[in-house]
Amino acid sequence: MAIWDADLSTRGGAETAADQGGLACFITAGLTVLSALFYGGMAGFDTLEGQVTAGMIGLQALIALIAGFRLKAGKGVFWGGAVAAMLVLEIFNKLLTLTGLGGLVLNLFFLVMVVQGVRGAWALRRGTGFGDDDLEVFE
pLDDT band at 23 (very low <50, low <70, confident <90, very high): very high
pLDDT above 70: residue 3: no
Task: Report pLDDT for 54.
Answer: 80
How far is the C-alpha of 66 from the C-alpha of 12, rounded, in Å?
22
Give the residue, 132 or 98, on which the prediction is more confident: 98
pTM, two decimals, is 0.83
Tell me the three-class secondary structure of the chain, residue by residue.
CCCCCCCCCCHHHHHHHHHHHHHHHHHHHHHHHHHHHHHHHHHCCCCHHHHHHHHHHHHHHHHHHHHHHHHHCCCCHHHHHHHHHHHHHHHHHHHHHCCCHHHHHHHHHHHHHHHHHHHHHHHHHHCCCCHHHHCCCCC
